[in-house]
Amino acid sequence: MTGTPTETDRRVISLPIEPGLLCLRGLSPRRLRFEVEYGLERGTTANSFLFLPGASGGAPVLVHPPGASFAAPFLEQLARLVPADAPLKVVAGHINPNRVALLRQLAAGWPATVLVASNPGAQVLGELWDQRRPSPPGSQETAEPVVPLPPIEVVKQETSRTLSGGQELTLIPTPTPRWPGGLMAFEANTGLLMSGKFFAAHLCTEVFAEANRSSTEEDRRYYYDCLMAPMARQVETVVDRLDELPIRTIAPGHGPAIAQSWRSLLADYRRWGESQENASLSVALMYASAYGNTAAIADALSQGVARSGVRVESINCEFAPPEQLLAAIKACDALLIGSPTLGGHAPTPIVSALGTVLAEGDRTKPVGVFGSFGWSGEAIDLLESKLRDGGFQFAFEPIRVKFSPDLASLRTLEETGTALGRRLRNQHRQAQRRSSVGGLSESRTNPAIQALGRVVGALCVVMARKGEGPDTPGGAMVASWVSQASFSPPGFTVAVAKDRAMESLLHVGDVFTLNVLAQGRESGPMKRFLQPFPPGTDRLAGLELETSPGGQPLLPEALAWLEARVSQRMECGDHWLLYAEARCGDLLDAAATTAVHQRRSGASY
């Protein structure tokens, strides 16, 4: 479902885990925000964990409180369990403006609150606690007073402590560029790892743990690709540490817990990161983010770049040491830099990073500038002017997003990243061909590759719209790697390149149409849908289309059509292989024959 959830959409339930330990789960059946990580539109959960005091008393401990999106129902549940005068300890494993907004309300309702945070987390708490979103120029709004920042217990390194209920809680700092204040909690008696952002998935479910590994694999892989892939090296370091713990259950901050197959999930995280680490091309993505909006833009750009098979190295300029910045600038094949505008200026870490780029950057490598702003955008202007004056070539026009990106902006951002990745790959291939004997790629002359090209398929156009309302994205692509796969139920497979814009509309559960083209009438649709589209373009706009019973677009000049639902996805190198079950269809021209794609090589379409 699309749209921003209302207050009535969200609620919080209490799930007992062990005596004295509860999971307080916030439920949202709709996507919480327009950020790339919610793109599967399966809702989300926000998991917090409450250790109640033992019989002899003591302080209750709250681990990973949610953001302000769940404030009202969460605080209502907490009030039933913890008296307002209790000395509440709160482990803040993830710090952003949304979380800080709820922590302020916690501190107001429970005055004896003590926060527990990592060293970078405590720094971010101090920066954000009194910070407010900028008011419009000339606004007469009066800011509400903010409760003083509670005492903070700073966790500088891994530490263990015994709680009043007898639980053994180990706090593990897990800093990453996206979440420098990351802090996990592990309870030894139950083997429960409260992993925060790691191993999460955005889907709405009341069941504490997943039924089996396959039931959530796609959701966890999508989450990884959106947020973890750009920092695969740091993620692997964290996974190596966790592999040493006697874990029995992993309970992430979003989605169901993993009780039966957590080791396979750790292995998946390593495997998914290998493709990033093995990529021959890389993009350095440097940013700072005051309210999380510039980071959301960075996430969408990196998702698009990674989809093209190019590695992304994400760098948070507020916490990255100078030597890391310099190494990334020198090693990358393209560089993107993003900044918010604060008080009419770019943050000091961004200004410093910009100076390093100007001094050490390679002018032959493309750059890109992006950022969010409230009522002005001077930081983006600064980045653009300095880089242009410095002789850098821009990969795309500077990206400016007011406040947070909406659905259309996210689509454009992802496709902008993919276009950059494709451009880098094409330039790399051309350089390889120029350096090879005779100017030809060796693979194209390989007899086995030539034989593979003789495997033919029907020429089809895959079409889909996803979501509700006039601004829902529509997509279309020519597909020839199509084959019937089953009789009962009637189903077929279609291969989709990872860097296709359509790929985001074809996840498990999504519905689409397969429009089979007729021999002799395929040139029009082929010309229309093979042409390049600018990022963010609705590929169905302006076309006279019909509609399937499930509301999906149909091509009137097709020979036949099928409406189908994606049932399974399998990763196959640079493509996803989709298995879809046909729900309905029709033969529009019984006298025509199917158009077939004849190729001379299996090295390209």
Q: Please determine, for residue 134, whether its predicted confidence score (pLDDT) is greater than 80.
A: no
Q: pLDDT over 90 for what percent of the chain?
A: 81
**Domain end position, chosen among 259, 275, 291:** 275
Residue 141 maps to a domain: no
Type and span of the H or E element at 142: none
Residue 17 maps to a domain: yes
Rounded-to-integer distance, Cα 268 and Cα 220, Å = 10
Question: How many Å is the Cα radius of gyration of the chain?
Answer: 26
Residue 441 maps to a domain: no
Task: Give mean pLDDT, residues 225-252.
Answer: 96
Are residues 404 and 286 both part of a single domain?
A: yes
Are residues 397 and 486 both part of a single domain?
A: no
H helix and E strand count, the chain: 13, 28
For residue 341, how many C-alpha atoms fall within 13 Å in the half-sphere facing its CB? 21
The full 3-state SS of 558-588, as one line of letters, equals: CCEEEEEEEEEEEEECCEEEEEEEEEEEEEC
Strand order in the sheet with 192-196: 159-162, 168-173, 183-187, 192-196, 249-252
**Confidence tier at 141 by pLDDT (50, 70, 90):** low
Are residues 42 and 161 both part of a single domain?
A: yes
Which of 124-128, 276-280, 298-302, 438-442 is least confident? 438-442
Are residues 383 and 483 both part of a single domain?
A: no
φ and ψ at 161, to 5 degrees? -150, 150
CATH number of the domain residue 308 falls in: 3.40.50.360
Q: Please determine, for residue 142, whether its predicted confidence score (pLDDT) is greater than 60.
A: no
Are residues 257 and 320 both part of a single domain?
A: no
Torsion angle, alpha carbons of 298, 299, 304, 306, to 10: 100
Which of 4-13, 93-102, 118-127, 476-485 is least confident? 4-13
Residue 415 maps to a domain: yes
Q: Quick one: CA dihedral 571, 574, 579, 583, positive or negative? A: positive
Q: What 3-state DSSP class applies to 263?
A: helix
In the DSSP assignment, the letter for residue 227 is I
Rounded-to-integer distance, Cα 118 and Cα 154, Å = 5
Crossing angle of helices 407-435 and 293-307, rounded to 10°: 40
**Confidence tier at 440 by pLDDT (50, 70, 90):** very low
Are residues 233 and 307 both part of a single domain?
A: no
Q: Please determine, for residue 128, whether its predicted confidence score (pLDDT) is greater than 70.
A: yes
Residue 349 maps to a domain: yes
Beta-strand ranges (E) seen in 179-294 are: 183-187, 192-196, 249-252, 282-287
pLDDT tens sequence across 515-546: 999 999 999 999 999 988 899 888 998 899 99
Torsion angle, alpha carbons of 92, 86, 26, 184, to 10: 30
CB of 311 closer than 8 Å to CB of 283: yes
Rounded-to-integer distance, Cα 308 and Cα 282, Å = 11
Closest C-alpha to 98, from 287, 266, 230, 290: 290
Are residues 267 and 292 both part of a single domain?
A: no
pLDDT at 443: 64
CB of 432 closer than 8 Å to CB of 404: no
Q: What 3-state DSSP class applies to 286?
A: strand
The tokens describing 211, both together, are 């039924």
For residue 369, the enclosing domain spans 280-422
Q: What 3-state DSSP class applies to 68?
A: helix
- Number of domains present in the structure of the chain: 3
Q: What 3-state DSSP class applies to 356?
A: helix
Are residues 538 and 469 both part of a single domain?
A: yes
pLDDT at 278: 86
Q: Please determine, for residue 11, whether its predicted confidence score (pLDDT) is greater than 80.
A: yes
**Confidence tier at 2 by pLDDT (50, 70, 90):** very low
Are residues 415 and 488 both part of a single domain?
A: no
φ and ψ at 338, to 5 degrees? -130, 150
pLDDT tens sequence across 147-159: 999 999 999 999 9
Are residues 533 and 505 both part of a single domain?
A: yes
Are residues 488 and 398 both part of a single domain?
A: no
Closest C-alpha to 380, from 412, 342, 414: 342
Letter string b/e over residues 132-152, b meaning 16 or more CB atoms within 10 A of that residue's CB: eebeeeeeeeeeeeeeebbeb
pLDDT at 439: 45
Query: 146 versus 240: which is more confidently predicted?
Result: 240
Residue 359 maps to a domain: yes
Rounded-to-integer distance, Cα 372 and Cα 296, Å = 9
Q: How far is C-alpha 260 from the geometric centre of its chain's CA atoms?
A: 25
Quickly count: other Cβ atoms within 10 Å of residue 111's Cβ.
15
Q: How far is C-alpha 72 from the geometric centre of its chain's CA atoms?
A: 27
Residue 24 maps to a domain: yes
The tokens describing 313, both together, are 């190295």
Q: Please determine, for residue 473, whether its predicted confidence score (pLDDT) is greater than 90.
A: no
Query: 76 versus 58: which is more confidently predicted?
Result: 76
CATH number of the domain residue 207 falls in: 3.60.15.10
Q: Please determine, for residue 1, whether its predicted confidence score (pLDDT) is greater than 50.
A: no
Q: Please determine, for residue 202, whether its predicted confidence score (pLDDT) is greater than 50.
A: yes
Q: Categorise residue 309: left if φ over 0, alpha if ψ from -120 to 50, beta otherwise.
A: left
Residue 430 maps to a domain: no
